[in-house]
Amino acid sequence: MDIHKPRYTPMSRRRRIYEGKAKVLYEGPEPGTLIQHFKDDATAFNAKKHEVIEGKGVLNNRISEYVFQHLNDIGVPTHFIRRLNMREQLIREVEIIPLEVVVRNVAAGSLSQRLGIEEGTQLPRSIIEFYYKNDQLGDPMVSEEHITAFGWASPQEIDDVMSLAIRVNDFLSGLFLGVGIRLVDFKMECGRLWENDLMRIVVADEISPDSCRLWDIKSNEKLDKDRFRRDLGGLLEAYTEVAKRLGIIVEGERPTGTGPVLVKS
């Protein structure tokens, strides 16, 4: 074997499949695979607010890898195959269902605003909401009626998405509770994975402090993207704290790619 042969095509020669606000998808090394690249861009309010926060993509790549690998390990199907490098992971190509699935355990953000419930109020039970993924419309909230009437997903698919959402919520709540963090809410996306003639719904996209609300249990300090949305500062420090508590990066390690980094395999 030629040891100088790159394991995958250098970035410049790769075919770009899709560019989102925080990630780019490239063609993968084999049919049915893609490479998911995490950028440093932070956006909020449908990209009206935008900043580049150097190192955010590296942290999200690692944190999302950790979550998705554990989901795979406990039998929650995801698109994740493996991390490739500091900013990229190999994933299965799926047909994204155009919904943002939000699970809430504690009132915050748009729920607090819409219903006048004070942020931090424990909800009587976990609540699942759907938003139609459409930037031009600002991702409006939709009901199951809209989803089935417009054919974005079938009733059976909605059931599958909801049971995945509950399993992910239970897993994430326990995971974060174990490291002194309250999972207030999170957003996930699902995709259709085709295997021969069989299709199943899997968890896709990313799960990271960009897409969760994570509060320190003792101090209620925000360890998520609300630091950016609400101009609190210290986003990188907060994401690093999450990664450290999960044991993803160790004390003294610089995860942001600005210096030599110990990559745990």
The footprint of ligand TMP (CB under 6 A) covers 102, 108-111, 139, 185-187, 211-213
Minimum CB separation of residue 204 from ligand TMP in Å reads: 13
Q: Considering beta carbons, is residue 84 or 176 the nearer one to ligand TMP?
A: 176
Minimum CB separation of residue 162 from ligand TMP in Å reads: 16
Q: Helix, strand, or coil here: 9?
A: coil
Q: Considering beta carbons, is residue 88 or 206 the nearer one to ligand TMP?
A: 206
Minimum CB separation of residue 84 from ligand TMP in Å reads: 23
The two structure tokens encoding residue 113? 């605003």
Minimum CB separation of residue 34 from ligand TMP in Å reads: 20
Q: Considering beta carbons, is residue 42 or 248 the nearer one to ligand TMP?
A: 42
- Residue 187's nearest CA partner among 170, 167, 210 is 210
Distance, CA of 70 to CA of 87 (rounded, Å):
19
Q: Considering beta carbons, is residue 22 or 58 the nearer one to ligand TMP?
A: 22
In one-letter notation, the amino acid at residue 148 is: T
Q: Considering beta carbons, is residue 11 or 177 the nearer one to ligand TMP?
A: 177
For ligand TMP, the nearest residue by Cβ is 109
Minimum CB separation of residue 103 from ligand TMP in Å reads: 8
Q: How many CB atoms lie within 10 A of CB 232?
A: 12
